[in-house]
Structure formats: C-alpha cells, structure tokens
Structure 1
Amino acid sequence: MTFKMPLTLLTGLAITSATAFAQQIKVADVTQTINVLASDEMKGRAVYSPEIDKAADFIASEFKKAGPQPLAGNSYLQSFVMVSATQQSISARSAGKEIDPKNIVVLTSKPEFNYSPDDVQVETIKAGDNLFSKAFELAGSSKSLLIQVDESFSDRFSRLVFLKRNFFKTDADIVFVLGNTDPQKLTIKATHSIKENKLANVVGILPGKKLKGEYVIFSGHYDHIGIGKPENGDSIYNGANDDASGITAIIELARHYKAQNNNERSLIFAAFTAEEVGGFGSQYFSKQMSPEKVIAMFNIEMIGTDSKWGKNSAYITGYEKTDMGDILQKNLEGSAFTFHPDPYPDQQLFYRSDNATLARLGVPAHTISTSKMDSEPNYHKASDEVKTLDLVNMTEIIKSIAISAQTIVSGKDTPTRVDTRDLK
C-alpha cells in the first residue's frame, strides 16, 4: 500500500526546494486577488468597457509588486487595435460577369477598398474543412489574402460576415469569395464604416539566467462577458472561475518564481484580453513571439472548482500530443495530486483556448483546467462568483503547477513539440 501525502506535506527530495517555497502560495493571498478581479465593481470585465481597463491596471500593479518587469518598454500593457467594419456598398465582377454580393466577404481597415491582385496570396477552404474554424484562422493573417471557398458551403457562406465584427487593424485585406475565381480577372469595390477599438494584454517577464533566450509562458485570460440577462436579480457575470481563477494563478506563480530567483529560462506571465470574443489577445501575443524559442506554455483556465476526479486533480488538454504532461506528473511523484488527460476530447479543447495559436505552430502549449465541461453549473452565468469556488483546492492546484513546472523552468526538461501535421 502506498501512502500519498497531501501536497502541503510533500517532502520528496527531488522537489524539496520548490515545495518549501510553494507553501508561500497561500489561500489568503489567492482569496484577496480573486475577490478583486471578480468583484461587482469590475462589472464582468467585458471587452471595450472601462472595467476591463480597470482590471488590466490591477493586474499590472500586481505584476509590479510581484517582481516581473514589463515584457517590452516601460508598460506591462501590450496594446493593439481591433476593427469592426459595417459595409455600406459592394460590387464585384469576375471576367466581366457580376458576382452576387452575398458571395463576397471583405475584411478591410480601409473605408474605401479596391481589390488588386498584386501581392495577394490565394488560399482555399476545401470541401470537408471546418468552414468557420478555417475562416477564423485565415482572417488573422498579416498578409493580404484571396480565399476561395468551396461551393459546398454555399448555404453557410453568408454567415462569414460575423468576422467583420472584430478583426485586427492591419494594412492587409482579406477577401472571401464563394467558388473558384481567377484572381487576375476579379474586380471588387467596397465601402465601409470603420470603427477602431483598443485592447491590451498585460504581460511581464522574469529574465532567465543561463537560458535567457528560451521562454516558458504562464497565461490566462482576464476578460469575461460583462453585464447580461438578470438571474435572480443579478445581472453582473463576475467570471470568478472563468477566468479570474487563472489570472490569480499566474499572479501567484509570478511571486513564486521571483522569490525563488533561480529560473534558468525566461518566464513570461501573460493575462490575455478578448478570449471570450474570439481569442484575439492570445493571437496578438503569439504573433510577437518566435515559436521556436517558446519551450512550453501553461495556459490556466477555470481551476476554481473541483474536477470530475475530485480534489487534488486537474486535466491537461492535448495531453497525448507532447510529453509535457508526463514531465509534470513525474515531478509530482509522492504527492496526492494527479494531472489527467482531457476527459472531454469531443469538445476539442486543445484548439479552443488561448494555447491554440502557439500549439498550431508546434509549441507544447497546453491548457490546465478542472472545469467539468459537461456539467459546470455556473459556466457563463451570473452565478459564477467567488463564493461558488473551492479556494483551498485552487491554492493546491497553483502549488502543483509551480512544483511540476520546476524542471522545465530550470532547463532540466524540455517537452517534445506538437506535431503540426496533426492539426485539426
């Protein structure tokens, strides 16, 4: 019979030093931080609201106190601009033949758009592809694209106009056209009313020592869905579990590793914006990184409730795609804590959260969660409040992440990469 001690009593020689400091990750600190992020004063942290700016300022102040320095410049805010475009007019012809406007979708930051075949890259969405997933991926391109969409999607093509609601401000123009069209014989003219909206991730870094040019990322998203339909008189969707719990974790991890002061690899702590409206914060962040230099990504999403296995457990999305999960579990030998493979494979969570952009580029980027995706009672509801969370267990999860990541942080272990041929 093997006796497994609680994480707080763990004394295994291999992780004694990490464990000793992990005890400084305390329930009281976790409680204080998450109560601010999920307070009614934050009004659900909706994108483009004054309150999300307030949340960003709070996270930046916590990073400053914890010890990480800004990733770039003097500010923790990694700012970018999103565009929403309302089409006023459009006309299109191919080889002199008029194209039904319903079969064209143009994403442009320009009030007046005229298609030019010069410097346009042609892409296709083939029959059998996931139309909306593929379109969403291509819409984030920094290059001008003409995307030919197979006619098998004719009944759904018009729904691609949802992409106009939010896309990155860029000089690139993205054109979707239903069917095969000769790029050289295509003419399109369109006018739009353009609205620009500013957003910002909050990002800090603890530079490494011997392996300064190698990066380990700890991340979560700090936006939620704001004010919604009242439930029992409450219209504030606080997002305590989703994902104030993840942001609380990265703040605690920043304190942990700063106090240890022995990270050989550089550690990046990223609080992403706009996850709830399309994952734009993590997409923008990922474009600033060289994927080959990112050794691992720990994306932390909804860890405030017990997992389907109960306390002292969590799951890792895409567990089978790299050996990162095995490394983490090896570092927890002797403890009561267990990391499990994702029990909800049908939901394809590996490619649905903020880890996805870097994972698609081969980075061992995984999301750690405890959320019961088939039965989480407060998910995207006004009832997602701190009082519904198990903060003691959540603190143990944060400790387990700190301890299990230690050999990756130190440079002793390097996870295998995601096989990009396996993309879905």
Structure 2
Amino acid sequence: MNNYLAYFTIALLILFVGCKPNNANDTAQVQVDVSTIGKHIARLASDDFMGRMPFTEGEVKTVDYLKNQFSKLGLLPGNGESYFQEVPLVEITGTPAEKMEISAGDKSFDLAYLEDFVALTSKTDLEVSLEDSELVFAGYGIVAPEYGWNDYKGIDWTGKTAVVLVNDPGFQSGDTTLFKGNEMTYYGRWTYKYEEAARQGAAGVLIIHETKPASYGWNVIQSGWSGPQLSLESAKPLTDIQGWISNESATKLFQASSVKMNNFKELAKTKDFKPISLGLTASLKISNTLKRNVSKNVIAVLPGTERKDEYLIYSAHWDHLGIGRPIDNDSIYNGAVDNASGTACLLAIAEAFKKSGATKRSIVFMAVTAEEQGLLGSAYYAEHPIYNPRKTVANINMDALSSPGPMKDLTITGYGQSEMDQYAKDAAEKQGRYIIPDPEAEKGYFFRSDHFNFAKLGIPALYASGSFEDFVHDKEFIKKMNDDYLTNKYHQPSDEYDPLTTELSGIQFDAQLFYQIGLKLANEDYFPKWYSGSEFKAIRNEKL
C-alpha cells in the first residue's frame, strides 16, 4: 500500500469513528474541506502575493483577498462596519555600516555585517550609533526577582552595550529547578532581552547566537533581522542599537578581552553572576529610512444566537517576509507553511461553521498582521481590543501547520497552562490521537506566535498541532522532516507550495480538531480557566 492510499484509508477510518454523532443535534460531523485549505494556501503563497509583507502591494492583495473570502462566506464585518482594524506602524529600514569596529586598547579588529553580526534599531532617528561603547558581558541579560536573579546588578549601564547569551539559564542545565529547566521562559526570548537592556539604560545589546538554544540557524538571523523592520511606535525605553553576533564572533571578542573567561557560559548560570567588562569597545553607525503607514488586521464575526456578547476567537497571522535577500536566485519569501497554512485553515474553519449552522456564542475569525516583526498585529489588538476580554471565552491560534499526513499526536505548546488542554484532549481522543507537551519546550514556541498576546490579556489560548508521530512513518522520519524545514525552509524563499508534493491531509486533520473544539466552546456556557501556577491566572481572575 503506498503512502497516499494508507493516509486516505486511515483518515476515512478516523473520521468515521471520531466524528460519529452522539445525537440528532450533533453537528461535529461537518468536515473542514481539505480542498478549501489547498486552494487558499496556493493563492496566498503564490508569487502574485509577493511574500505578504506589510506596507507592500502584497499586503493590499492579501487583506483584500481575506476580506472578500469572509464576505463570500456571509460573515459579518468584525470591527463595526469594517472587516479591518487599522494597525499604525513605523517601518524602519536601517542600513548599518559594513563593519562594526572593535577596539581593545592598542589592538582593534572589525566584525562584518551579516557574516559576523546583524544590527538594527527601533528608534525613529535618521541616524543612530554606538561610539566607543564599552562592551559588558551581562550573562543571560535577565532580571527576574521571583528567581532572585539580576544579570545587570551593580553598574551604571549608560553608554554601555550588553553582550548576552540567548535562551535562559535552565537550558541544558540538567536542573529542573533552575528557572523552568529545559523549558524556555519568556526571559529567554530575544524580545525580552532587548526590552530589559533598554530598561537598564544600555546604549546597545548584542545577543550571542547559537543554533540549539536559539532554535534556528544564523541564516534565519541574516534574513529576519535585515531589511525593513516594523514596530509599534511606543513611549517605552529603547536601546540605540540591538542585534546579534555569531557564536564565532563572540568567541573572538572573549579571546581579545582583557578578562580571560574560558567558562563564561558556566559563570552566567549562577545567581552570583555579576556583569563583566570585556575591556573592549564597539563603534557602529546605522542610517535609517522611515515610513509610517497603517497595516491591517482582517476580522470577521459569526454572531451567536443566545450569548452573542461572548466570543471565541480563532486567529492566524497572514504576513510573511516579502521580497528580500535572494537565495538560489529566488527573492520571494512566500511563506507557504508560515503562515499561508494557518490562514487557509482560518478560512476553511469559518466555512465549516457556516455549514454547521448558528452557534450560541459568537465566533470571531481574525487574520492578524506583522507577526513576523514581533507579534505586532495581535499586540495592537491586545492594546485596543474590539471584543471585551472579560467576555472572550478562549483563543485558538493556528501557525505553521505542516505534516506528512494525519498525526497520532497533538503537541500542545504551553501544555499545563489552562483547561484548554482538556478540550484538546477530548477532541484528540475522538480522532484516535493522544496529546503531548511540546517536546522542544526549550525553543520557547509559547512566546513566538499570536496566542501569547491573547494570553497576556488573560484569555486562555490553545496553540497546538500534530508534530511528533504520524500513522504511517516512524518518529525519526517526522523529526528529520521537521529538522529539514527549520534548517532549509523556515524564513527562506524555499517555503513554497507545490500541489504535487504538499500533503494536506494532516493539516486538515488538525483543522478538524480545532473546529470541533470551537464547536463545543461556542455552544456551552462555561469559561475555561487557567491552572494554578500559570502566570496568566491572576490576569483572568482580575478581569472576570
């Protein structure tokens, strides 16, 4: 039996068993249409959409396409009389000098842009610079009172540049009591490290890149942190320059330092760590071109019948990286998996709900902008919510769905946070599946997609997909497939859609599960709760 026939047979059996109605009123047998998913992925990931970068013609085509699809389905505009929520952003195209000058007294050397470092700024000045900025090793760049941790203690950071490690001290420590052990906390995310360095008053911050603790290679840094960058204009403190240096360049810095630290990574894993001046200075200038504009979240709603002021939100980000640095003569970053797949499922699930009929609660379908630039579309929604967070039941977020077929597992990112785990477990068991926590929790995926901003509002959020074991191949095959995507396609022009080779049955299988979870939530009167110990529990309790 070939793989296609095997998947087809298995999928039919699973759907027959898992979607068998319990009573005459059960609408769970409605199927999310796999052809609808394929049609929308093919369109959104086509070259015609130019990589779906905000502020480009690709955005115009994308948001108009989504609006038209929602309208054709008969969904109502989600923001008053409009399908759009305007998101004001500033685009900063920074052009760094080709060399970062490192001075060590009578010795000096240069680091090369893109090869050794990337740098940018969130400041809207036309020019920013580091001028002989003292380089100080600040461990992991973390201030965490609940862990008794402060990597910035004891010095005035004015004019200095923090050199920090990626991830957090628990990573590969073997100590489950050190932060959260191998599971990344928000302190390990690059966004936090930029924010904390700014709060400390540093002039700059450079994160030392390593593939394993970062969870992506230097090629992702080169493509993602160069070219136009979007941000929400904010009154929060900002460093002049933020960026990354390669691990090899960091080694070069430490070797040139007047302070000999062969074990600098181990030094950083203790509460007793204190910042260490490297006896080096850095100089770098960035020239900026600014463009202020408005991007758009695309929002549609299916009103409920009995409790229409209570809302379930499905979300997916529509954006990708646009047209960028050519690789193998291809400069369009199509983003088929990331995230035409999730956006296509958003539309397909909306179609399924229209087929199943009215629900008691209202259902919101939200395609958000600028996820790739730091979850900006969902962050703006969190600051300007259209639907009362106290009346928002839950969020189901879909991002980068890809598998070789229906998966046995449902991997939940952020497992143990809320009762959404149980909703997912119930739906998975009906499909003959089991659930597992994210086996790569050290990569911090819980903080890397839009559900995180809903969670910060106190809204229980589910972010899950099949990613570990399917019904045909062994686990090693799935691992190799996932590794190949992260190494060769993630944030690269090669993330393209090929209808002859892309297997959609696994994506449909996940989308069916998300639909069934939403169907239950949309027809009951219960509000899922955060578990004790979740940092989001207090926020929800306060709002309710």
Q: 1:322 to 1:50 in 2, by over 3 A?
A: same
2: CA distance between counterparts of 1:287 and 1:19? Answer: 34
1:165-200 deviations in Å (ceiling 9; x for gaps): 533246x464669xxxxxxxxxxxxxx985312211
Q: 1:323 to 1:212 in 2, by over 3 A?
A: same
**Match for residue 332 of structure 2?**
236
**Offset at residue 405 of structure 1 (A):** 2.6
User: Are the counterparts in 1 of residues 45 and 340 from structure 2 also a CA contact under 8 Å?
Assistant: yes
What is the aligned counterpart of 1:262 among 352, 358, 363?
358
User: Are the counterparts in 2 of residues 306 and 393 from structure 1 also a CA contact under 8 Å?
Assistant: yes
**Offset at residue 359 of structure 1 (A):** 1.1
Question: Where in structure 2 are the equivalents of 1:5-404 lying within 5 Å?
Answer: 5-9=13-17, 10-13=19-22, 17-22=26-31, 25-84=32-91, 126=143, 127-128=150-151, 132-134=190-192, 148-149=199-200, 156=206, 165-169=229-233, 172=235, 174=237, 195-289=291-385, 290-306=388-404, 311-370=407-466, 374-376=483-485, 377-387=488-498, 388-404=501-517
Q: 1:318 to 1:166 in 2, by over 3 A?
A: same
Q: 1:386 to 1:173 in 2, by over 3 A?
A: closer
For 1:324, the aligned partner's letter is M
**TM-score normalised over the length of structure 2:** 0.59
Say which SS state the counterpart of residue 198 (structure 1) adopts. Answer: strand
For 1:326, the aligned partner's letter is Q
1:82-131 deviations in Å (ceiling 9; x for gaps): 124699xxxxxxxxxxxxxxxxx9977799xxxxxxxxxxxxx8434668
For 1:386, the aligned partner's letter is Y
Say which SS state the counterpart of residue 316 (structure 2) adopts. Answer: strand
For 1:296, the aligned partner's letter is A
Q: 1:363 to 1:234 in 2, by over 3 A?
A: same
Q: 1:378 to 1:173 in 2, by over 3 A?
A: closer
Q: 1:28 to 1:86 in 2, by over 3 A?
A: closer
**Match for residue 102 of structure 1?**
none
**Offset at residue 343 of structure 1 (A):** 2.0
Aligned residues: 364
**Offset at residue 259 of structure 1 (A):** 2.7
For 2:416, the aligned partner's letter is E
Say which SS state the counterpart of residue 321 (structure 1) adopts. Answer: coil
Gaps of 5+ in 2: 1-11, 95-119, 127-141, 144-149, 152-186, 208-224, 241-287, 468-478, 539-544
For 1:351, the aligned partner's letter is F
Q: 1:108 to 1:291 in 2, by over 3 A?
A: farther
Q: 1:265 to 1:16 in 2, by over 3 A?
A: closer
**Offset at residue 154 of structure 1 (A):** 7.1
Q: 1:381 to 1:321 in 2, by over 3 A?
A: same
**TM-score normalised over the length of structure 1:** 0.74
2: CA distance between counterparts of 1:85 and 1:384? Answer: 25
2: CA distance between counterparts of 1:236 and 1:106? Answer: 24
2: CA distance between counterparts of 1:350 and 1:15? Answer: 38
User: Are the counterparts in 1 of residues 122 and 238 from structure 2 also a CA contact under 8 Å?
Assistant: yes
The answer on 1:405 being equivalent to 2:412 is no
Q: 1:18 to 1:315 in 2, by over 3 A?
A: farther
Say which SS state the counterpart of residue 439 (structure 2) adopts. Answer: coil
1: CA distance between counterparts of 2:195 and 2:205? Answer: 20
**Match for residue 103 of structure 2?**
none
Q: 1:148 to 1:42 in 2, by over 3 A?
A: closer
Say which SS state the counterpart of residue 29 (structure 2) adopts. Answer: helix
1: CA distance between counterparts of 2:457 and 2:24? Answer: 31
For 2:231, the aligned partner's letter is F
**Offset at residue 413 of structure 1 (A):** 4.4
2: CA distance between counterparts of 1:20 and 1:409? Answer: 16
Say which SS state the counterpart of residue 300 (structure 2) adopts. Answer: strand
2: CA distance between counterparts of 1:75 and 1:65? Answer: 15
Gaps of 5+ in 1: 88-104, 112-124, 140-146, 178-191
User: Are the counterparts in 2 of residues 238 and 382 from structure 1 also a CA contact under 8 Å?
Assistant: yes
Q: 1:154 to 1:395 in 2, by over 3 A?
A: closer
2: CA distance between counterparts of 1:384 and 1:279? Answer: 20
1: CA distance between counterparts of 2:205 and 2:330? Answer: 39
Q: 1:370 to 1:175 in 2, by over 3 A?
A: same
For 2:192, the aligned partner's letter is K
For 2:293, the aligned partner's letter is N
For 2:14, the aligned partner's letter is P
**Offset at residue 381 of structure 1 (A):** 2.4
Q: 1:264 to 1:5 in 2, by over 3 A?
A: same
Say which SS state the counterpart of residue 403 (structure 1) adopts. Answer: helix
Say which SS state the counterpart of residue 215 (structure 1) adopts. Answer: strand
1:15-34 deviations in Å (ceiling 9; x for gaps): 98333222xx2222222121
Say which SS state the counterpart of residue 384 (structure 1) adopts. Answer: coil
**Offset at residue 243 of structure 1 (A):** 0.6
Q: 1:14 to 1:285 in 2, by over 3 A?
A: farther
The answer on 1:420 being equivalent to 2:535 is yes
